[in-house]
Amino acid sequence: MVTGIINFKGGVAKTTSTINLATALQKLKQKVLVIDTDAQGNVTNSIGLQYEDDEKAITTASLMQNTKLDPLKAVIKGKYFDFIPNNVFAYSRTNGISDSQILSKIIERLKPYYHHILIDTPPYLGLDTANAISASDVMMIVTDFSKGSLTGIKVLMSVLDKWHDKAVAKKFREKAKTVLFTKYQKRTNISSQVVAIVESSSNMGLLLDEKIPYSIKVVEDGYSGIPTVISSPRSVVAIEYMKLAQTWITARDSKILKGSKSVINL
Interacting residues with ligand ATP (CB under 6 A): 10-16, 38, 42, 122-123, 182-183, 212, 214-215, 218-219, 222, 237
Looking at the Cβ atoms of 15 and 134, the one nearer to ligand ATP is 15
> Least CB distance from residue 121 to Mg ion, whole Å?
8
SS3 state of residue 80: coil
> Least CB distance from residue 239 to ligand ATP, whole Å?
12
| Cα 42 from Cα 44, distance rounded (Å) | 5
Looking at the Cβ atoms of 33 and 252, the one nearer to ligand ATP is 33
Q: Give the long-range contacts of residues 185-194, CB within 8 A, separation 24 or more.
A: 185/145, 185/213, 185/214, 186/213, 188/145, 190/145, 191/145, 194/143, 194/145, 194/150
Q: Does 149 bind Mg ion (CB under 5 A)?
A: no
Q: Does 9 bind Mg ion (CB under 5 A)?
A: no
Looking at the Cβ atoms of 86 and 94, the one nearer to Mg ion is 86
Q: Does 183 bind Mg ion (CB under 5 A)?
A: no
SS3 state of residue 164: coil
Looking at the Cβ atoms of 78 and 262, the one nearer to Mg ion is 78
> Least CB distance from residue 244 to ligand ATP, whole Å?
12
Sheet with 76-77, strands from edge to edge, namely 76-77, 82-84, 32-36, 116-120, 2-6, 138-143, 176-184, 206-213
> Least CB distance from residue 167 to Mg ion, whole Å?
25
Q: Which of residues 11-70 bind Mg ion (CB under 5 A)?
A: 14-15, 42
SS3 state of residue 171: helix
> Least CB distance from residue 14 to Mg ion, whole Å?
5
| Contacts (Cβ under 8 Å, ≥6 apart) of 69 | 58, 62, 63
Count other Cβ atoms within 10 Å, centred on residue 62: 22
Q: Name the site residues for Mg ion (rule: CB under 5 A).
A: 14-15, 42
